[in-house]
Amino acid sequence: MKLATLPNDTADGALVVVSRDLSRAVTANTISHSLRAAIDDWASVSGSLQALSDDLNAGRSKGDFAFAPKMARAPLPRAWQWLDGSVFETHLDLATRAYGLPNPSYEHPLMYQGMSHRFLSGLDDVPFPKEEDGIDFEGEFGIITDFVPSGTTAAEARSHIILLTQLNDWSLRVPGRDEMTRGYGWIWAKPACSMAPVVTTPDELGEAWSNARIHLDLAIHLNGMQFGRANGREMRFGFDELVAHAAYSRELCAGTIIGSGTVANADYKIVGSSCIAERRGIEILEHAASQTPFLRYGDRVQMAARDKNGEAPFGAMDQRVVPMRAPEKAV
């Protein structure tokens, strides 16, 4: 099934079930008042949500209204935990060689804890304080868990992956370099991420959910020009292994979101990149200097995973980079 969140007067928004083709939706507020609440109680409510979805997709129900991604907030407008991996070997190899970053040992996946109290929708403008900070996108896949006990193994982790998502992990590369050098991860460099309009259960992807990886091309366009279309299949660690890694010394609360890091493929010369920093790294390796600029205010970034029929199972993201407004002064 596919789920989305519409705005209402609450911080978490209202849960709706969306048809497979994203054209129709049915309100689910009699089952759960928000997606966040539904995930907290997944074993009890997912069956009822699935029944709504089945009726909608079989034509037994017309749903309550026509759905459009622009109506939606992020499926989880806030979450208690966002842990972002970086496990595409091609991306890490290029970054290591181009920027002299430490070579990952691959004994464990790379992972950082990011800001989770706000996720932007896939169609929101994205505010940044300064163009000079090296504004960049990162096209990623992600998963959402139910409650995961600490010490959970990768094999056990698979059943804890209840929903799949697509994300843009917006990044500021200039402060990011400094922050990474200090070893503490990122505060300035990682403001709120954006989340595609619709989350899906793993079964919804059919064979494209395999080996705990999302085998879909992630089509990225910058100002209308294709930038990349790398496939999610080449993760060095699967999402099951990322869940197990995250749960070594902590429980994962229900609604934990875990990301793949920037999607990248070995044939990057054909499929392109999922962030500007990687393309600039390739330019450094090939031409000794980067050419592609980071983003400027007004730039437009579109992202949509595509299945073999060209459909976008998570809906399409389409966002503009804008200046951050000065805070309103206290009166």
Q: What does the binding site for its own copies look like in residue numbers (CB under 8 A)?
A: 78, 80-81, 83, 86, 101-102, 104, 108, 110-118, 127-129, 133, 149-152, 156, 159, 172, 175, 178, 180-189, 191-192, 245-246, 248-251, 253, 256, 324, 326-330
Pick the closer one to its own copies by CB: 14 or 172: 172
The answer to whether 179 and 135 are in contact (CB under 8 A) is: no
Q: Return the number of the residue (45 or 71) whose C-beta is nearest its own copies.
A: 45
The residues pairing with 2 across neighbouring beta strands, listed in sequence order, are: 18, 200
Closer of 62 and 108 to its own copies (Cβ): 108
Tokens 């309009």 belong to residue: 197
Pair of tokens at residue 68: 């459009």
In the bound state with its own copies, the residue whose beta carbon lies nearer, of 85 and 197, is 85
What element of type H or E holds 229? strand 225-231
Contact 3, 72 (CB under 8 A): no
Are residues 205 and 214 in contact, defined by beta-carbon separation less than 8 angstroms?
yes
In the complex, the smallest distance separating the C-beta of residue 89 from its own copies, rounded to whole angstroms, is 15
Are 17 and 49 a contacting pair, CB within 8 Å? yes
Sign of the alpha-carbon dihedral angle for 188, 321, 277, 131: negative
Nearest distance, CB of residue 54 and its own copies, angstroms? 25
- Residue whose structure tokens are 């300035």: 188
* Nearer of residues 225 and 331 to its own copies, judged by Cβ: 331
Distance in Å, CB of 179 to its own copies, minimum: 8
CB of 319 to its own copies, least distance (A): 16
Question: Of the two residues 11 and 285, which places its CB atom closer to its own copies in the complex?
Answer: 11
Q: Can you state the angle between helices 276-287 and 89-99, rounded to 10 degrees?
A: 50
Q: Which is nearer to its own copies, 89 or 104 (CB)?
A: 104
We find the least distance from the C-beta atom of residue 64 to its own copies, in angstroms, to be 30
Q: How far is the CB of 98 from its own copies (least distance, A)?
A: 16
What are the two backbone dihedrals, phi and then psi, of residue 34, each rounded to the nearest 5 degrees? -155, 160
List residues bridging with 142 in a β-sheet: 165, 259
Contact 121, 240 (CB under 8 A): no
- Please provide the DSSP assignment of 123-144 as one string: TS-EEES-GGGTEE--EEEEEE
Minimum CB separation of residue 249 from its own copies in Å reads: 4
